[in-house]
Amino acid sequence: MTPFARNPAMDVLRGCAVLGILWMNITAFALPQNAYFNPAVAGPPSAADIAAWAISLILVDGKMRGLFALLFGASMLLLIDREEMAGRDGRRAQIIRAGWLFVLGCAHFFLLWWGDILRVYALVSLLALLFVGLEPFALVKRALLFFLLQFLLVASFIASLYAWSHAAAAPDAGASLRDGYAAFMAALANPASPGTLAEIATYRGGFAGILQHKLAGLPGDWLWGFLFTAFETMGFMLLGMAMLKGGFLTGRWDAEQYRRTARHCFLIGLPPMAALTLWVAWSGFAPLPAYGVALAWSLPFRIPLTVGWAALILWLLARHRSHWLVDRLAAAGRLTLSNYLATSLVMTALFYGWGLGLFARVPPAALPLFVLGGWTLMLAWSKPYAARFALGPAEWLWRSLIRGQPQKIRKSD
């Protein structure tokens, strides 16, 4: 199969997204799972730890994942159009594509990292097929509906935790109720909680123990993870379709339009995100504020900030197309799947017990150094590889599985 023509603007966006998502994922690679929501789970946070957490929460958390979903939704339309122009069934092609992506996501989850997002994208994209024929405004309306559903779901869950808190504090509360609540909250804030210590021991151990831990959590972990991300992912996919049809993602707007969009989106999203961050810090990183902000209360502001990041990147691209970094970001974007999976391989080898065993040994403030190292590797290898090969290793495997036969990987001389 001959590779389709690339869109440089979308490649740069993908490159920025795959770099940006490592900034947030590094916490989940290196520290107990609940440290993603609350830095206190990693131990009493220093000023530098708090600064790193605040930057991540305000600028990165959920925004790069949202950017990925925007681009995935847009890529669905591009695939369907390309297949139908070739006389094939575009929707069937997307279903097959999603099926093999789910398989790759399962392999990623079991063999490398619990935080895989490929499975969610694969499943959500099947439902997104119902909306591909809609006009941009209709897509935006439905995207907002899915965002609302996501917010109502997670807000209800956080509200149930507050109700549990009040019930456990009641004078007539039973011992099992109080103990259950205390254990749940300890896992969200106390680095010495039994659950956190058990998780540290697991991920400092060998591959077999880690795999057994993942299997023991099925299917509950998958179900909860899907419920807490699916509607938001759907919203961003539909928004990406609308933004593709409107020319936003392909770089067809002029630079001033991108600049104004970025400014408006950041003005909408940054002040409330900063206020939520201060609230969590002033609470002493109490579990309910920290968990609530990460999961629910930041959701309405992640949406404009995701769009703002896309607009800012495209504005900078419009002004600096000849900058040396543009080609390297575009190359990283062409190899998004390979870079995403390679990042998991490198980081789990650094932090898990079957590798160097640094899990829960590196303070949060030092984790950006690992991020910078990952960025350097992605930018260093992607451009020379993309100059010689039409597909990244993971992209080649995915496309070969979709087509049922090995695809051409080298570029024609």
* Confidence bin at 5 (pLDDT 50/70/90): low
Question: Chain-wide mean pLDDT for the chain?
Answer: 95
Q: State residue 344's pLDDT score.
A: 98
- Measure the CA–CA gap between 109 and 106, rounded to whole angstroms: 5
Q: State residue 411's pLDDT score.
A: 85
Number of domains in the chain: 1
DSSP for residue 389: B
Q: Which residues contact 247 (CB under 8 A, 6 or more apart)?
A: 253
- Measure the CA–CA gap between 277 and 52, rounded to whole angstroms: 12
132 belongs to a structural domain? yes
Q: State residue 1's pLDDT score.
A: 34
Q: What residue numbers bound the domain in which 239 lies?
A: 8-403
364-371 mean pLDDT: 96
How long is the chain? 413
For the cut 90, the answer to whether the pLDDT of residue 233 exceeds it is: yes
For the cut 50, the answer to whether the pLDDT of residue 181 exceeds it is: yes
- Per-residue pLDDT of 38-89, as tens digits, reads 999 999 999 999 999 999 999 999 999 999 999 999 999 999 999 999 999 9
Q: State residue 2's pLDDT score.
A: 38
149 belongs to a structural domain? yes
Q: Which residues contact 141 (CB under 8 A, 6 or more apart)?
A: none
For the cut 60, the answer to whether the pLDDT of residue 413 exceeds it is: no
* Confidence bin at 193 (pLDDT 50/70/90): very high
Amino acid at 359: F
Q: Which residues contact 256 (CB under 8 A, 6 or more apart)?
A: none
413 belongs to a structural domain? no
409 belongs to a structural domain? no
**Is the separation of the CB atoms in 360 and 200 below 8 Å?**
yes
**Which token pair is 152?**
């109502």
408 belongs to a structural domain? no
2 belongs to a structural domain? no
- Measure the CA–CA gap between 372 and 358, rounded to whole angstroms: 17
**Is the separation of the CB atoms in 353 and 360 below 8 Å?**
no
77 belongs to a structural domain? yes
> 389: which strand partners?
410
- Per-residue pLDDT of 310-359, as tens digits, reads 999 999 999 999 999 999 999 999 999 999 999 999 999 999 999 999 99
Q: State residue 3's pLDDT score.
A: 43
pTM of the model: 0.95
302 belongs to a structural domain? yes
**Is the separation of the CB atoms in 155 and 295 below 8 Å?**
no
Q: Calculate the CA dihedral of residues 258, 259, 261, 266 and round it to 10 degrees.
A: 130
Q: Which residues contact 8 (CB under 8 A, 6 or more apart)?
A: 251, 317, 330
Q: State residue 412's pLDDT score.
A: 72
From the list 15, 67, 30, 19, the residue with the least C-alpha distance to 304 is 67
